[in-house]
A and B are shown apart, each in its own frame.
Chain A
Amino acid sequence: MVTTDKPAYKVIGTRPIRPDGIDKVTGRAVYGADVNLPGMLYGHMKRSPHAHAIIKRINTAKAEALPGVRAVVTALDLGPDPAALPDLSKNILAGDKALYRGHAIAAVAATTDLIARQAADLIEVEWEVLPPVLDVREAMLPGAPLLNPNQHTRTPSGPSENASNVVAHAAVAFGDADKAFAECDAIVEREFSTKMVHQGYIEPQSATAVWNPDGQVTIWSCTQGAFPARQNCSAILGHPVSKIKVVPTEIGGGFGGKIAVYLEPVVALLSRKSGKPVKMTMDRVDVFEGTGPTPGTSIRAKLGATKDGKLRALYADLAYENGAFAGSAANYATMCIASGYDIEHVKLDAYDVLVNKPRTQDYRAPSAPAAAFAMEQLIDELAIKLNMDVEQLRLQNSCKPGTRGPMGMPHQAPGHEECLRQAIASPHYNSPLEGPNRGRGTASGFWFNVGLRSSASVSVQPDGGVSLILGSTDIGGTRASLAMQLAETLGIPYEEVTPTVVDTNSVGYNDVTAGSRVTFGSGMATVEAGKNVIKELSARLAPTWQVPVEDVEFEGGVFKSKDGSKSGTFKEIAQAIVGRGPGLTASGSVNAGFLQGGGFSHAIVDVEVDPETGKVTILRYTCIQDAGTAIHPSYVEGQMQGGAVQGIGWALNEEYYYDDSGRMVNSSYLDYRIPTTLDVPMIDTIIVEVPNPLHPYGVRGVGEPGIVPPLAAIANAVAHATGVRQTQLPMNPRRILETTSGK
């Protein structure tokens, strides 16, 4: 681990066992599908077999007549789309038009899962099948089949005149790129494309609901954000937020894919209609076809430098598939593509485009990996043209404090330079790569990380232990990283803190577990709650010690009177004050803003390309990432390694493979092949720590940046191994053979 000027922490930086660990290694932890209630019914969704079709009529009579069926719902039961959340209801249950295969049409609740499935089959839908549009560039053309005939493009100069599948055109410009290209000595320009890929969380979505006759609704869900899920259910159901309680279960992976609600409002409706608890769980095909993967892209990019290696100008045209409904995908790409570098002249045109595929959702650093796939390959090619070492070229042009970052805002303490220095000094970079058909590639990645809103409460127990009450769902160890920050604040051992993730009625508002924000933003709320505990204990201590409250000091876990005559550890004081007095609970609530300072990562990868089969083998992989301050280094490494391997899958294997009718033909784990133990080596990690000035302990979000570099790093490695530049993903054996044969 590489650290710059780190304070001496007692708990932060250690590697304790996570509080929820035993439940998860013994099978006791309760995930979404593990919720079972007395008298519970089973729900099942009827889904569209067509990628693009008008729903002329839905007849549910036969389904309703099947013995055991207790309720059937369609879009008619949902009411109109909430104005603040356009298209949300239409994606939950299609009303007049199905926009992708797998689009939910109706739902059934029955006494058994089998009856629910049989009833869904009995729902009759009269279709008028329309031609689908599946390619992002084709969808942008005039005359392409329109998903929404009322959709006009949002452009910098107002809405477009004609209806279009292009939802939005965002134009970002700094300096004068056209003029600057004319002054460049070396220019590289290419067209890149990537395919739609899925987050691939192993736990399918599951939700259970009870709608009581008094209007109180309880929903159990494996969501990434109980509070936003509650908000969305309220909007879709037209039911007050305060009457809905969302209970987050353990969550079996999400990576952005479990932010949106799919089942939650539907099981609530089915429960209302049937008067019984209702559970609905997706199967793997539902997950692939009916939830939100991340966009496929088409990116045209051009990068220029002067002969001394100074990057001068970047142009990129970035087209991102939104799927069936509008998203904000391409905009994120404009915030990331150039943020690692000091490039004076930048011009970006970003397009969000509707196609007949599932509505896309966030996937770990959404939109950044495809943008880096283009950018970091152009840098690699430029280094070759300029006859420079690519890492030196990156270092020479790396952003520094004050350099323009995402949304034109200046970087405060960017860790890119330090990541590059550590990469250049790493054992991997300094070891030779020998043997035929082998190549080494590198790439950098940036993700802006978000702050948003968090609350936490801390209760002091009579024995001096503390309970940490959290509303951020724990997707990969944040109970530990937050408990550690509280232990550090209170100066007590980690083991004295018992964290619990609670429902939406039991703690203040928390935004989603996403954007690499929990250890950062919920960390800030936790630290604040801890400080409020100290404040309250000091206030109660002062009269006992017969000193003014300002004379009660707290440092390193010890309360002291200013004159030094009285003192006690946190535990002693807590036992004395709370053990015999009234209870003590303090809270912390923060709005940590949209941006939290951003995170950089870097990858070095060695590959071997089999010239006969086209198979690419990852021989060695090192990821370097700035964590700001690594609270629990093992879980920081875990995020880096996990992101790297998802990136390896994206680069080499994964894609939504469609036939011409818009049917995904590989909707199983057998055919949509995510990496297995056999596909990857150990993933080496180097944690860089450039403290984030926006967090009390210097934390940066670490969840997302690790997936940004691998697509480009592997493509660069393959290019060096074969002499052929790879501009299309996935680089599966077929593509490698097609592009390298005869070379």
Chain B
Amino acid sequence: MSKRIVSATINGEVNEFLVEPYHTLLEALRNELGLTGSKEGCGNGNCGACNVVMNGQLVNSCCVLGVEANGATITTIEGVAEGEQLHPLQQQFLEDAALQCGICTPGFIVAAKQLLETEQDADEERMRHFLAGNLCRCTGYDKIIKAVINARDVMRSTAGAR
């Protein structure tokens, strides 16, 4: 097997990189592009720590092959903040102490952003349903859900003000 060239728009920039045909998108992001914010907790789609958004869909990047990313548009945790401006979810996670060890945090923020961007009125029940694919072992989820609720309110008020 030889490496394949993959071209993808990642966090707003076109990237061209080489990837082994058997490598996952997660491995490509972490090892070829240095984007180590996406984490591997299980390698089989059970934990959500590697969540990225690919072509508008939330995916476990450990279950996508790197070559499948050819031509795709991808947002990782590294693309969530805009310059120095944290996303409301990032700010709420900090203010609401929604992380302890922090290893699941990138996946949760990417997943919650996808939820709030597509369903700005998501309630707690919907959040718990949508985020059930993201495992956290430290927090018991209480402060994570509260941070997502608070971020939703901030995002709604900002949207309303526009």
Contact = CB atoms under 8 A, between A and B. Distances in A.
A606 interface: no
A250 B37 CA distance: 12
B94 interface: yes
Interface string A194-237: 00000111111000000000000000000000000000000000
Interface in B115-147: 127-129, 131-146
B102 A24 contact: yes
A334 B68 CA distance: 56
Contacts of A632: 97
Contacts of B143: 634, 637-638, 641
A648 to B, nearest CB: 8
Given A34-B36, A634-B143, A678-B132, 18 more contacts: A22-B90, A25-B90, A25-B102, A31-B39, A36-B36, A284-B42, A637-B97, A638-B100, A638-B139, A641-B140, A643-B140, A645-B140, A669-B47, A675-B141, A677-B128, A677-B131, A678-B129, A683-B142
Contacts of A677: 127-129, 131-132, 134, 141, 144-145
B60 to A, nearest CB: 12
Q: Give the size category of A's interface with B.
A: 35 or more
B128 to A, nearest CB: 4
A669 B22 contact: no
Contacts of B22: 114
Interface of A: 15, 17-18, 20-22, 24-31, 33-34, 36, 114, 199-204, 250-255, 281, 283-284, 475-477, 632, 634-635, 637-639, 641-646, 668-670, 674-678, 680, 682-683
Main SS at interface, chain B: loop
Given A15-B97, A677-B132, A31 B142 contact: no
A476 B145 CA distance: 18
16 contacts: A18-B94, A21-B99, A24-B102, A25-B102, A26-B37, A114-B20, A199-B137, A202-B49, A250-B101, A253-B103, A477-B100, A634-B96, A638-B143, A641-B140, A677-B129, A682-B146
A641 B78 CA distance: 29
Contacts, number: 178
Main SS at interface, chain A: loop
A281 B41 CA distance: 11
Interface of B: 20, 22, 30-31, 34-44, 46-47, 49, 76-78, 80-81, 86, 90, 93-97, 99-106, 109, 127-129, 131-146
Q: Which 4 A-B pairs have the closest CB atoms?
A: A27-B37, A252-B103, A645-B140, A24-B102
A260 B90 CA distance: 33
A22 B84 CA distance: 11
Contacts of B140: 638, 641-646, 675, 680, 683
Contacts of B40: 33, 204, 281
A199 B103 CA distance: 15
Nearest to B107: A202
A202 B96 contact: no
A251 B142 CA distance: 21
Contact of A26 (B39, B47, B81, B129): B81
Given A284-B44, A669-B47, A678 B128 contact: yes
Nearest to A31: B103
Contacts of B139: 638, 641-642, 645
